[in-house]
Structure 1
């Protein structure tokens, strides 16, 4: 907790950018300075290429979606969102949790610890961060679809916030050490939970509006445009 408070005091721009250009980029864009260029979080080029190929194949499977079961489509939609975020918005997805930690989680936890114990404050901090994230995503969905918010997306994040906070709290208990499950089973349970809750709350607003189909068509159109330009230059 002491280290978290130190990071909160330093702020997201510590250390200060060395020049005005970097200061503008770090404050106005979803860009975060790398502390270590050899970080293990970097995606290898070959892994990026494989994900790009899988993403392209996934887009073409939508042509045959009428022959696929709802469960298979749900898995494909989940994979679509995952690959889109990894290939197109990875830096943004790294920035959002960082912003929520600094702006929501740490302040809520610090304030609530004055009247609650550490576990309760942690629970409320995590819950508040997910709640705000859900409200923001609800606004983003409204911006893209122009449909009135139904609250489904917010409830998706609220549910994940409650489960995440509960998991963190339980893992701190002594008995949790005796009931550890294997990492592989833990990942399978996590993926299954995300897929089921996504099909229940996250994807319906996008499917009702046809947003996923339009996004897939736009990506395919962009790919065809680049291919035409490439072949024209070759001629």
Structure 2
């Protein structure tokens, strides 16, 4: 990864943090409502344009996700005295909550939405390590992709999306945990989902759901609308599933041993059909995998070489 790209990344986030300080000191002193919204509109516009300064897929994608999507939604809620930024909190907590993919531990939803983990804290650390090793193994497998069936590659991409998202978001939330904030999990083992409602509502990317639930959900638009239709299909099928459950009224229910693989296979199969073709067509997958190699070389250069010189 070029030094110029890292400098741009640092520049973008210095501006973002300065903007959050403005929101904390200036906008918070303005009564909630239209005037606070007007005071935040320049920041929302700035956050929408900041990722354009980056070209690396991972840095640009992560920054767009954190600023354009999550932070802007949080600021819109903050304008009207709602959302995670509204309760009075110290500046450092405000910046962490605004800029990071976190949700401070609490349960504002009914018991049916309570987030529970199948692992203890020690088990969660072990699971994190296993997922990191699994992602590393995937990167090794990609070297032999010319020998693999296209559907096998798509299955690997499904695993890659989940593993990379969970690991990157967990690392991004590390600063908040370092200052003592107790956080809810960002993912809740989506491969254990027993239904689409369980997958999208209680297990996949939970802090996004918590922000979008009180606002408005806009699907991701693409030139061919394939990704949009992927999310539309998931919404329609989830609604049909909920209606079927109500109609059955508990008279019959498939065991988890059946519903879990059915749920994962449905999400993966529809992803093969609608989600991944857009990425493959634009060669985003090749660029993404290539950036991992660049990142590894960068880490080796900055850590292993100084270490070897020190040992000499």
How far residue 84 of structure 1 moved from its aligned partner, in angstroms, is 1.2
Aligned with 1:182 (options 224, 234, 255): 255
Structure 1 residues 221-230 or 192-201, which shifts more?
A: 221-230
Give the TM-score of the pair, scaled to structure 1.
0.70
The number of equivalent residue pairs is 186
1:164 counterpart residue number = 238
- Distance in 2 separating the partners of 1:25 and 1:71: 40
- Distance in 1 separating the partners of 2:307 and 2:261: 46
2:151 counterpart residue number = 71
1:123 counterpart residue number = none
- Provide the secondary structure at the position in 1 that maps to 2:214: helix
Cα 1:231–1:25 change in 2 (3 A) is: closer
Q: Larger helix proportion, structure 1 or 2? A: 1
Give the TM-score of the pair, scaled to structure 2.
0.54
Cα 1:15–1:34 change in 2 (3 A) is: farther
How far residue 10 of structure 1 moved from its aligned partner, in angstroms, is 8.5
1:28-47 equivalence runs, <5 A: 28-35=99-106, 40-41=116-117, 44-47=124-127
1:109 counterpart residue number = none
Write out per-residue CA displacement over residues 56-114 of structure 1, whole angstroms, 9 at most, x where no aligned residue: 1101211111111122111101111111111113549332111221113xxxxxxxxxx
Cα 1:230–1:21 change in 2 (3 A) is: closer
Contact 2:135 2:160 in 1 (8 A): yes
- Distance in 2 separating the partners of 1:183 and 1:223: 39
Q: List gaps (5 residues or longer) in structure 2.
A: 1-79, 108-114, 171-185, 188-204
2:87 is equivalent to residue 16 of structure 1: yes
Q: List gaps (5 residues or longer) in structure 1.
A: 1-8, 105-128, 143-148
Contact 2:101 2:169 in 1 (8 A): no
- Distance in 2 separating the partners of 1:176 and 1:62: 46
- Distance in 2 separating the partners of 1:85 and 1:211: 16
Write out per-residue CA displacement over residues 104-137 of structure 1, whole angstroms, 9 at most, x where no aligned residue: 3xxxxxxxxxxxxxxxxxxxxxxxx4xx2x2xx2
- Distance in 1 separating the partners of 2:81 and 2:249: 34
- Distance in 2 separating the partners of 1:216 and 1:185: 34
Contact 2:85 2:97 in 1 (8 A): no
How far residue 151 of structure 1 moved from its aligned partner, in angstroms, is 0.2
- Distance in 1 separating the partners of 2:91 and 2:85: 15
2:134 counterpart residue number = 54
- Distance in 2 separating the partners of 1:193 and 1:10: 39
2:273 is equivalent to residue 200 of structure 1: yes
- Distance in 2 separating the partners of 1:28 and 1:231: 31
How far residue 156 of structure 1 moved from its aligned partner, in angstroms, is 0.2
How far residue 15 of structure 1 moved from its aligned partner, in angstroms, is 7.4
1:127-166 equivalence runs, <5 A: 129=217, 132=218, 134=219, 137-138=220-221, 149-166=223-240
- Distance in 2 separating the partners of 1:231 and 1:23: 36
Write out per-residue CA displacement over residues 159-181 of structure 1, whole angstroms, 9 at most, x where no aligned residue: 000011111122122x2522200
